[in-house]
Amino acid sequence: MIDVAAKPEKLIPVPSPFDAVNKRNLIVIELLTILILLALTFWSVGPLIEEWGLFRAFNENGLAYFQTFAPSIPMRPLHLVAYAFQWIVGWGHPIGVALGTALLMVARYFVARWAVSPFFGGYERWLLAVLAATLVFWPGTWMGRYGSAQLSAILLFVTLGFSIRLYNRWSIKWVVGSAVSVALLLAIYQGLTLCLLAIPVLSLFWNRQDSVGSVVNKSRLFSAARIAVAIGIGFLLYGVYWVIVSNTFGSSGYEGALASDSARLLTVTGLLAHIKAAYVTAFGQETYLLPLLLALAFFITWDALQRFETLAAKLSGATLVFVFVSILPMLSMIYVNVLHIRDLDRVFYPISVGFVLVCVSLLARFRKHQSVNDSLFNSSIVVTVVLVSSVLVAHGVRHYVQLQRSVISQTWAALDVKNASTVLVRDTTGTLGDVYTFLSTTLGDASTVLGRKLTADICTPMAIDRLHPVAQRFPIATTPNCEDLPPVPESTLVLTARWLNGVLVVTP
């Protein structure tokens, strides 16, 4: 006699979206979306800060620079992989930053699409893939300097895909895939550590065909345990590496400096202050973020919530949406350094990835009440909002890229008149020298990568206010006062940056 109870539980059968729409139309929609994202990437992305220095290092040392760089950041042995990828696909030219970013974005789209396929198809899968590709509201999506973070996000969605498959049943190949993905992610960039830990917790809210309303039930606990074991093995693999490297290299260097700031989190006062800083950065500095994330989450789930039979069930579902979105800044607490927790570009990263996980979990929770027609309308509206917001964020990044190109071209024009290997720019606009407007040695690195070896500095006259909003977040020092610099050698070309009819011009 067959023991029916012994059979593995099946996931909720997903109504095929192709029953309601033409398969060809859906494929066209997805391809058009990808083309829009690619066009937006090449329109906005370019080198801004670390990319210039790393391209210069790779141009001078090749891939051997991995060995040179390794001792300075031993806990992230694969951190340079994304930058090397940009350098390789661009053949050493800056276009590789945009090309590499575009390829990573497309990879996130298809990996996320694969990841959620056991739960969703058609329009919902399209929506979630777009959210994963754009990482909505995170400026780093459009910055090559966050290539390692973008690559880590791909591995996070790979882990999610294996976790969704483990939710149904145990499989060694899925456990291995999940564990390896986690270990590789941590070896590249640890900004999504808390997002990884959130996956088994969120899986408690995913629905089965035979599940009841309670979050805590036996089948869900077993499923969450399988997911947690696989992810835990990945942490263990990285932990073994961490112990070996710590005993070999110690805790010095960049990572040691970051970790030394974490002792304050061991006190209640320090921990609460860190949590407050995360919320102030995420929802305080950018007051639009919480309302927009809530609006998107409620819009995605609104029709499903309306189909709940009782008012109590509707309120419970709405509360779940609100709580999931409201606690997203907690995922950014992995940035233990007091400077990094104030940086929007860093804090928004785990929040944007976490928002994708939240949307997956909410749709998985409410999918019994979702219809294909609702999915079509809601997904189309949300994707439109996401693409518009992406254009706005990308436009802000493009402004920095264009400004850098303008300053470099004008500097080269001045060098054509007076040849020099050293340049000093006196900035009377107050804008140059910020994180994305040639911080420190960036101008010299950029010029060298573009083919003209140059040592360049930027100073600001004492009477000019520094308009450096990005550096002010931390805060960090930027340009020195021009009056405090030693006398300039005659061989140095001195340029002045000023506004002329609203345009920044750089002239002798």
Same-domain status, 423 and 385: no
Pair (234, 305) in one structural domain: yes
What backbone phi and psi angles, to 5 degrees, belong to 322? Answer: -65, -45
Range of the domain at 270: 23-397
Same domain, 451 and 373: no
Residues 78 and 134 in one domain: yes
Residue-wise pLDDT tens digits, 302-337: 888 888 888 888 899 999 999 999 999 999 999 988
| Predicted pLDDT at 10 | 45
Smallest Cα–Cα separation from 86: which of 452, 449, 400? Answer: 449
Identify whether 8 is part of a domain. Answer: no
How many Å separate Cα 279 from the centre of its chain?
18
Instruction: Count other C-beta atoms under 10 Å from residue 67's C-beta.
Output: 9
Residue 405 within any structural domain of the chain: no
In a domain, 156, yes or no: yes
Claim to verify: residue 142 and residue 110 sit in the same structural domain: yes
* Residues 331 and 459 both lie in one domain: no
According to the model, what pLDDT value does residue 252 have?
57
Q: Distance between CA 184 and CA 164 in Å, rounded?
A: 19
The verdict on residue 256 lying in a domain is yes
Q: What's residue 13's pLDDT? A: 44
| Cα 493 to Cα 77, 308, 500, distances in angstroms | 40, 71, 21
Q: What was the pLDDT predicted at 374?
A: 56
392 and 301 together in one domain: yes
**Is residue 286 situated within a structural domain?**
yes
Residue 410 within a domain: no
In a domain, 4, yes or no: no
Co-location of 74 and 110 in the same domain = yes
End-to-end CA distance of the chain: 92
Mode of pairing for the β-strands spanning 422-427 and 493-500? parallel
Is the entire prediction scored with pTM above 0.75?
Answer: yes
Domain contains 60: yes
- Those residues of the chain that have pLDDT short of 50 are 1-21, 209-212
From 340, 362, 397, give the residue that closes a domain.
Answer: 397
Please report the pLDDT score of residue 20 as a whole number: 45
> In this structure, are 387 and 429 located in the same domain?
no
- Asked if 384 and 425 sit in the same domain, the reply is no
Residues 389 and 433 reside in one and the same domain: no
Identify whether the C-beta of residue 372 lies closer than 8 Å to the C-beta of residue 20.
yes
Choose among 115, 132, 116: nearest CA to 124.
Answer: 116
Give residue-wise pLDDT tens across range 215-247.
667 888 999 999 999 999 999 999 999 988 877
At 218 the pLDDT is: 82
pLDDT given for residue 19 in this prediction: 43
Q: How many domains are contained in the chain?
A: 2
Nearest to 169 by CA among 223, 117, 120: 223
> Are 127 and 244 found together in one domain?
yes
Q: Which two tokens stand for residue 192?
A: 């999504």
